[in-house]
Amino acid sequence: MKVIFYKNSRYMAKFRSLSIILLIFLLECKTYYKELKVFPENLKQVFIENFSNQTFEPYIHLELTDVLKQKFHTRNTLILTKEPDNTKYILKGKVILFRREVLLYTNELEPTHYKIDMVVEIYINKKNQTLLKEEVYDSIRYSLKEGAIENDFQARRRLYERISQKILYHLEKTILEDLKGTIDENSRDNTTR
């Protein structure tokens, strides 16, 4: 049996509409990688403070900070500095929510599926000026006994990586907007002289 697509068939109409939606989505999901590479390294220096922890879960702020710094090095769009004095931007954050709950039990009342929620409040500062204050949220589900088995450490690590990716997105976007704003101000100053 042959399926023939005519120009006016409903299948082609659906295909065209899905193609247009996909194209719009891809255009909206732009990366700041190429735009940030243009600027000199001394303008893209960032210091990441160890995040603070307002939850009862110990050490998650340190684990998150470590994963964030590792992600930072792999992205290679901004320059990570070791001292806050020699930097233009400072990233601060605090973990304000970490919740682990059981979603599913076996017949013997043993937990099998879990969900972890995490909220991190980030601040991006530039010379005593806050450029961005944002709450970053993510949630994951995992199982210890069924399906794609993952232990608690692996699940938390996956959550930290997802949160770090979102934090880096906000950081790159904010710094790029600030750098473009600085260049626009400098070009206006040069044209008025």
CATH class of 32-192: alpha beta
Q: Domain boundaries in the chain?
A: 32-192
If you average pLDDT over every residue of the chain, what do you get? 81
The alpha carbons of the chain give a radius of gyration, in whole angstroms, of 23
Q: Is 70 left (phi over 0), alpha (psi -120 to 50) or beta?
A: alpha
**In angstroms, rounded to a whole number, what is the distance separating the alpha carbons of residues 52 and 46?**
18
Res. 191: pLDDT tops 50:
no
**In angstroms, rounded to a whole number, what is the distance separating the alpha carbons of residues 124 and 146?**
41
**Cβ neighbourhood burial of 150 (10 Å; 0-12, 13-18, 19+):** middle
Res. 47: pLDDT tops 70:
yes
Go through 111-123 and write b for each residue having 16 or more CB atoms within 10 A of its CB, e for each that does not: eebbebebbbbbe
Name the more confident of 167 and 189: 167
CB 159 within 8 A of CB 138: yes
